[in-house]
Structure formats: C-alpha cells, structure tokens
Amino acid sequence: MIQPDVDLQPYNTMTIAARAKYFCTASSLDEVREALLFAREHKLPILPLGGGSNIVLTDDFPGLALHLGMRGLEFETLAAGAGSDKSTDSGVRIRAAAGENWHQLVMRSVELGYGGLENLALIPGNIGAAPIQNIGAYGVELKDSFEQLTALEIESGELVTFTAEQCQFGYRDSIFKGPAKDRFLICEVVLRLSSIWQPHVSYPALQQHFSEHGQSPDALTPAIVADAVIDIRNSKLPNPVEIPNTGSFFKNPVVDEQLYTSLKAAHPELVAFEAVDGWKLAAGWLIDQAGWRGFRKNGVGVHDRQALVLVNPGHRCGSEVVNLAREIASDVQHKFGVTLEPEPRFYP
Ligand code: FAD
Ligand code: NAP
C-alpha cells in the first residue's frame, strides 16, 4: 500500500501541491508498524498526517507521509463512583482512534447529551492530532476532558501510554511539540466527560450571540452552545474546503507587563487578556491594525473577516505562504515591537 511520489495537495487544507517521496494510509496498528519498518529500511523521515489542517508544506517531503487512518469510536457510560480523579459522578468515557474526525466526535457527544466538548465544535482535523497542540477554543482546551492516550514510539515500535500530566499540556502546547517531538505516533485518545456540566461562555462572541438570540444563560445546554460556536465560526472563519487555510497562522503572543503597558498607552483599544506569565495579545488584532486584513498577493492573502487566518485561494506553493507570513510578522514587529510565531508546523 506504500505508494511512491504522491501529491499531498488533497492531504493539507492549505492545498499546497507538494509531493511526498512515499505515501501510505495506515488503517490499523499493524499497518502503522509495517509502514515504520519500510521507513526504517529506506532511512526515510516520517511525516505523520491527520487532516492536514495545521501543517504548511514548504517543499516536497523527502520521506514517508504516513496518514493515520485508524477508525474506532466508543462511548462507555460510567456508573456513579467510576471516576478516578475527576469526581465520583457518572459520566462517559470516550475511546477514539487517531483517524476519527474531531468535529464528529464532538457532535456525537453533544447528541448523547454530554457536555464538555461543545466549545471545541468545528475544529478541523482528526483526534490523533488534537493532543499535539492541546486544541482549544472559546476558553476550553482538550486537556479539560483528557484522560490518556496511547502512542507508538517510532524508534522502538513500543506502545506507550501518556496521562494528562505526562502530556505536559500548555496553551496550544504539549510534550509532543517539545521533548517528545517527532518521536511518537498517537494511535488512540481517551476522554472523560462528567455528567455535571458547567457552560463556558465568557468569550464576548458567545455572550453577544446568546443575547442576540434571546437565549438566557440559565437555559443553555451543550447542544445550544455547540450551535452557537458553529454559527460564530461559520460567520468569521473561512471553510477550508472553499478557501484553503490552516486556521490561526500565528499564536497569540504573551508579552511582559512593561510592553503591555506601553502598548496599551499607545493603543487604548488593544485586545489583551491577563495570562499566567504576562499578557496575551490577540495576534489577529495586531495584524488587522497593521493594515493586512483582506490583503491579497500572488494568490495568497489574509482573510477579510479574521486577520489571523492566512488563505491560499490560488493554491500556491508553500514558499508564497511563508513569504507572506514573514512580511506580516516583520511588519507587526516593526509597528508594535511584538514577535509573532507561526502556529502550524512547517515541513520538511
Ligand atoms: P495535521 O495538520 O494532520 O497535523 C498537525 C501536526 O500533528 C503535524 O505536525 C502532524 O505531523 C502531527 N500529527 C497529526 N496526527 C498525528 C498523530 N496521530 N500522531 C502524531 N503526530 C500527529 N486549532 C485549535 O487548537 N483551535 C481551533 O479553534 C482551531 N481552529 C481551526 C480552524 C480552521 C479553519 C483550521 C483550518 C484549523 C484550525 N485549528 C484549530 C488548527 C487544527 O485544526 C488543529 O491543530 C487540529 O488538531 C489539526 O488536526 P489535523 O488532523 O488536521 O492535524
Ligand atoms: P475571538 O473570539 O475574536 O477572540 C480574539 C482573541 O481574544 C482570541 O485569540 C482569544 O484568545 C482572546 N479572547 C477573547 N475572549 C477571551 C477571554 N474571555 N479570555 C481570554 N482570551 C480571550 O477569536 P476568534 O478568532 O473568533 O476565535 C475564537 C476561538 O477559536 C478562540 O479561542 C481561538 O483560539 C479559536 N480558534 C483557533 C484557531 C486555530 O487555528 N488555532 C482558529 C480559529 C479559531 P484564545 O485564542 O487564546 O482563545
């Protein structure tokens, strides 16, 4: 099943037409192991692929692009007292293979009446990639419902279990972006949702949505919150199927008190939130203020409703995207003294 010289355009939401020296989809653990054996024999680097919604292909990939397509989704209802550290209430444990679609998992849990994942509706991609950057939206992160994951160590071929603590989750961050980078293939993720539900609706966009729709904060359900998130996202984020993109292109920078104070004095309308280690600035606001929203050049550009999203309507190569990102980051640095770091991973 390992194919040589494959176009990766259908496998990345930026629709960049880079080629992989080899490509295969693994639908089982055995197939993953076979693919790893092939890569080892041919001394090939590996590009693990889920939905391709958080990668930028800057050139052809000189190794094996390994699409993790394992399927399997189980909901296990828990009796009261079945929780380990999460309380003694009943709830549900969700066991999902890496190739399951994230949004479908969220909607299934909402349909079954469980809360906890609704703020994460409509995030593209597969479950296997969700722990890599501890996906988050509207104040909720994967780590809030995470129990454990199983990953295959590339070097040894051994299956290893990681608890939440071992994953070292942070803000759009985990051990898989740090010390464990490129060492593991995530095969299965286990989540735990409690039957006791608290809506997380502090984000202004959600508040505004509920007030416009006359929905009282006391009458919210996971399904109502999921619908709101879907509506809001559809209204301001480009659907990658129509306009190629990778979501937020830059992380929201966290700056120290001194820089925050001087920026706030110069720009009273600065969008900033107090964080554990300083002030989190809305990168989209900085890019917008620098005049980039709606910009287009050489088939790539900046989304007109959210300046944090770079788009590739011309299906151009990765270097066009990277050049635009560099221009934007350098302009923001020059105008605000703030360094922007890309969120998606660049390959090779
Ligand atoms: P891919 O892009 O395929 O891979 C991402 C990285 O993970 C790569 O380094 C890849 O090698 C690695 N990887 C993938 N699968 C595995 C695996 N099984 N084992 C080991 N490594 C693996 N992100 C958010 O956090 N919040 C958002 O709200 C959000 N909104 C988005 C909106 C849009 C329109 C888009 C296009 C993206 C958005 N993203 C968001 C980013 C992205 O959807 C997430 O990061 C998602 O988890 C990526 O999943 P994927 O399967 O597409 O990963
Ligand atoms: P938004 O609601 O317009 O908010 C703008 C920025 O302000 C966001 O970056 C958000 O930070 C921050 N923010 C807003 N209210 C906050 C609060 N009460 N407390 C702390 N921070 C607050 O953002 P948006 O672009 O429409 O995105 C909505 C949500 O989806 C955000 O959480 C965003 O991260 C997520 N999203 C992520 C991606 C991605 O690719 N990573 C793409 C699209 C949307 P945070 O980003 O830290 O939440």
Q: What is the CATH number of the domain that holds 13?
A: 3.30.43.10
Q: Are residues 340 and 297 in the same domain?
A: yes
Say what the pLDDT of residue 80 is.
75
Q: Are residues 22 and 38 in the same domain?
A: yes
Q: What is the CATH number of the domain that holds 290?
A: 3.90.78.10
Say what the pLDDT of residue 104 is.
98
Q: Are residues 44 and 84 in the same domain?
A: no
For ligand 1, whether the C-beta of 119 sits within 6 Å is: no
Q: Are residues 260 and 343 in the same domain?
A: yes
Q: Which residue's CA lies nearest to atom 23 of ligand 1?
A: 135
Render each residue's pLDDT in the chain as its tens digit; 348 residues.
Answer: 899 999 999 999 999 999 999 999 999 999 999 999 999 999 999 999 999 999 999 999 999 999 999 999 999 999 876 555 555 568 999 999 999 999 999 999 999 999 999 999 999 999 999 999 999 999 999 999 999 999 999 999 999 999 999 999 999 999 999 999 999 999 999 999 999 999 999 999 999 999 999 999 889 999 999 999 999 999 999 999 999 999 999 999 999 999 999 999 999 999 999 998 999 999 999 999 999 999 999 999 999 999 999 999 999 999 999 999 999 999 999 999 999 999 999 999
Domain assignment present for 207: no
Q: Are residues 251 and 169 in the same domain?
A: no
Say what the pLDDT of residue 79 is.
83
Domain assignment present for 235: no
Around Cβ 42, how many Cβ atoms within 10 Å?
A: 12
Domain boundary among 154, 174, 194: 194
Q: What is the residue type of 347? A: Y
Q: Are residues 128 and 189 in the same domain?
A: yes
pTM of the predicted model, to two decimals?
A: 0.96
CA of 123 to the centre of ligand 1 (A): 8
Domain assignment present for 319: yes
Say what the pLDDT of residue 297 is.
93
33 noted as active-site residue? no
Catalytic residue (one of 172, 183, 233, 345): 172
Q: Are residues 94 and 41 in the same domain?
A: no
Domain boundary among 52, 68, 84: 68
Q: Which residue's CA lies nearest to atom 30 of ligand 2?
A: 137
Domain assignment present for 281: yes
Domain assignment present for 254: yes
Q: Are residues 180 and 293 in the same domain?
A: no
Say what the pLDDT of residue 348 is.
97
For ligand 1, whether the C-beta of 124 sits within 6 Å is: yes
Split into its structural domains, the chain has a count of 3
Domain assignment present for 14: yes
Q: What is the CATH number of the domain that holds 115?
A: 3.30.465.10
Query: Taking the mean position of all CA atoms in its chain, how far away is CA 156?
Result: 27
Domain assignment present for 203: no
Domain boundary among 194, 213, 229: 194
Q: Are residues 335 and 294 in the same domain?
A: yes
Q: Are residues 159 and 186 in the same domain?
A: yes
For ligand 2, whether the C-beta of 62 sits within 6 Å is: no
Domain assignment present for 116: yes
**For a pocket test of ligand 2, which of 53, 225, 245, 248 has the largest count of ligand atoms closer than 8 A to its C-beta?**
248
Q: Are residues 35 and 91 in the same domain?
A: no
Q: Are residues 50 and 148 in the same domain?
A: no
Say what the pLDDT of residue 83 is.
52
Residue-number span of the structural domain to which 123 is assigned = 73-194
